Structures are given as structure tokens and as C-alpha cells.
Structure 1
């Protein structure tokens, strides 16, 4: 089994139709986040697939997507009702 790395995927999509497509696509990979910011634990192959599919979904002249690799050793700062996700918690990518 390939090792997973945590990424923060953020997007700003101008067209509502493309926005819905990107949102629905990333729901299959996210383990946490909100609105247009998602934490995704991805293998190298999944990251390549996500990048390729997002490139097909967006209009490169109007939209933007950022993919940041995060250090899983960092402890998140949580405020209000925010909760951290257990790194070892089971999850499945369908």
C-alpha cells in the first residue's frame, strides 16, 4: 500500500457549473475542510489523478486551484468549535 500525504486543496472557480463539478469531484477525496478548502490524504498516484482531472474541469484563464503539501507532524491550531481529525482514524476514498 502506498504512503499517504496530507494536502490542502483550495479553489476559486468563476463559473457556477464548473464550481459544482470541482466541488463534487473533491468530495470523494476530502477528509476534512469546508467550502473551498479541503484536507486530502492522497497517495502519489491519487495526487496525479486529482491534478489531471482538476486540469480538465477548470478554465485556466478564469479559475484557480492551489494544492499545498502539509507536514502531518504539525499540530493544528483549532478555535471555537473546530476539531482536529485523528490522523490514524480510518477513512476510505471511493
Structure 2
């Protein structure tokens, strides 16, 4: 995978302790482009993905907490229910 190409990932977590939960939430807010609560859509380069994996491994209590990172295909059709809206897919810049 090219380090400058971005891929869409779904990062989700279940954390038992409120202090760790806040730390992980705050950390992932820097990468998210969509999502809510403990599910975040993130466009990541290969280097950013490695950084997210390593940082989550440090922030989590691996015997109690869990995190999942799923690679998504942005070409797939989205099924939405309720008050869901299409995510904004305009070009964006992460500084």
C-alpha cells in the first residue's frame, strides 16, 4: 500500500474504564471524518494506520478493552435508516 494513498477504515472500540475511554475518543477525533460515539470513519494512509494501531495498543488495557479496525470499500452503496444522512465526500485536507 502506498503511504500517500488514503483508504477508508471503520475504527470502533469498547472500553471499560471511563478515563481510557476519554483518551481513546480524544485521540481518534483527530482522524475521524464521520461516525458517532464509538464508531469512526477514518481516511488513513498506511503510515497513519500503523500509528493508530500502535497508539491504540498503548492506550487500551488489552485484557479488558477491545478495538476493531475494518477496511471499507468507499465504492459500496450505503444503506441508511432513520435520520441517517449521506456522509460528505468532498475533497478535504488534513493538516
TM-score w.r.t. the length of structure 2 is 0.91
What whole-Å deviation, never above 9, does each CA across 1:35-93 have from its counterpart, x for those lacking one? 00010010101000000111110000000000000111101111222111233x13343
Structure 1 segments of 4+ aligned residues over 4 angstroms from their partners: none
Question: Of 54, 61, 64, which residue of structure 1 is paired with 2:63?
Answer: 61
CA RMSD of aligned residues (A): 1.4
C-alpha displacement of 1:2: 1.1
| Paired positions, count | 93
Match status 1:27 vs 2:25: no
TM-score w.r.t. the length of structure 1 is 0.92
CA distance in structure 2 between the partners assigned to 1:92 and 1:61 by the alignment: 36
Report the equivalent of 2:80: 78
Question: Of 13, 16, 20, which residue of structure 2 is paired with 1:14?
Answer: 16
Task: Assess if the C-alpha contact under 8 Å between 1:28 and 1:93 holds in 2.
Answer: no
Match status 1:91 vs 2:89: no
- Any stretches of 5+ residues in structure 2 without a counterpart? none
